[in-house]
């Protein structure tokens, strides 16, 4: 019998797929105000990669962009857990959950794409983390590791030779997205100089880079494209 999977699709833009001559797909993760300097969960130098991302998008026929998109009562907000602090970890429904400052609340300025990002290049915009009870670091599936966002089906239909990932944050949403991509069997590359990380807990950026390499993900710079 076919495997049954839960799928949620929160897609707000989907353009017609162009003919993919170069067979490369780029996933741009969470380039939003709250993850850039001045935002609620700023990633150090997160804004520095905007011109880099704008430049590399030109060499991809298909660009998928994600937005972290949480309701105000989201499980990942420390403010929703009495007695807990930012960066504490809790277990919710059997899943480890790090607690963050309120960030990327759906429809707020903090959830908008950072200014200067060339959003006209996006073929698909996917919003994740919309369920109040589950976080979603990966663009492919929620942190229950069961509920798929639908991105796998979209990318599989393109039959790409390679999937590239860049954006914010290296040690969370970039990492989990790249790990799922390689698990789905896509040849996966992380453009590491087009990423910035939170490094919380300290050392986590180096730890995820090592884990990605071990898992067969290629860690590259944009000049290797
Ligand atoms: C992210 C922490 C919480 C990310 C999202 O985009 O990497 N990190 N929510
Ligand atoms: Zn989040």
**Which pair of tokens denotes residue 202?**
């300290």
Report the catalytic residues.
30, 128, 173
User: What are the angstrom distances between the C-alpha of 211 and each of 42, 133, 148, 175, 208?
Assistant: 24, 27, 22, 9, 5
∠ CA 108-93-198, nearest 5°, is 50
pLDDT of res. 4: 59
Residue 132 pLDDT: 95
Cα distance between the two ends of the chain: 41
The CA distances from residue 65 to 26, 34, 86, 151, 224, in Å, are 8, 16, 27, 11, 21
Q: Name residues with Cβ closer than 5 Å to ligand 2, which is an ion.
A: 68
* Residues 6 or more apart in contact with residue 2 via CB below 8 angstroms: none
Domain ranges of the chain: 24-65+101-135+146-160+196-203
Angle, in degrees to the nearest 10, between helices 175-183 and 204-214? 10
The per-residue pLDDT for 90 is: 97
- Measure 155 CA to ligand 1 centroid, in angstroms: 22
3-state secondary structure of 55: helix
Tokens of 16: 């017609």
- Report pLDDT for 197: 98
pLDDT at 93: 93
- Measure 69 CA to ligand 2 centroid, in angstroms: 7
Check: CATH 3.60.15.10 for 24-65+101-135+146-160+196-203?
A: no
Question: Ligand nearest 35 Cα, by number?
Answer: 1
pLDDT tens figures, 68-105: 999 999 999 999 999 999 999 999 999 999 999 999 99
E strand or H helix that includes residue 58 = none
**Measured from the CA of 174, which atom of ligand 1 is nearest?**
7
- Gap from CA of 169 to ligand 1 centroid (Å): 6
Q: With contact defined as beta carbons under 8 Å apart, do 44 and 89 qualify?
A: no
pLDDT reported for residue 89: 96
Distance of alpha carbon 212 from alpha carbon 216, whole angstroms? 7
Residues of the chain with pLDDT under 50: none
Question: pLDDT value at position 19?
Answer: 66
């Amino acid at each position: 019998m076919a495997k049954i999977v839960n799928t949620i699709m929160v897609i707000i833009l989907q353009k017609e797929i162009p003919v993919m001559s170069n067979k490369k797909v780029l996933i741009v993760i969470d380039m939003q105000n709250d993850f850039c300097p001045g935002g609620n969960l700023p990633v150090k130098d997160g804004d520095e990669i905007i011109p880099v991302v704008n430049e590399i998008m030109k060499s991809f026929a298909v660009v998928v962009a994600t937005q972290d998109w949480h309701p105000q009562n989201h499980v990942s907000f420390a403010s929703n857990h009495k007695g807990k602090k930012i960066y504490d970890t809790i277990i919710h429904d059997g899943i480890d959950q790090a607690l963050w400052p309120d960030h990327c609340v759906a429809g707020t300025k903090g959830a908008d794409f950072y200014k200067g990002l060339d959003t006209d290049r996006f073929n698909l915009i996917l919003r994740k983390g919309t369920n109040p009870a589950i976080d979603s670091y990966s663009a492919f599936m929620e942190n229950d590791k069961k509920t798929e966002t639908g991105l796998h089906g979209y990318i599989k239909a393109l039959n790409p030779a390679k999937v590239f990932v860049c954006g914010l944050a290296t040690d969370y949403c970039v990492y989990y997205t790249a790990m799922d991509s390689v698990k789905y069997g896509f040849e996966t590359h992380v453009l590491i100089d087009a990423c910035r990380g939170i490094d919380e807990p300290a050392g986590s950026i180096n730890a995820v880079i090592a884990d990605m390499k071990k898992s067969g993900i290629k860690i590259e710079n944009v000049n290797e494209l």
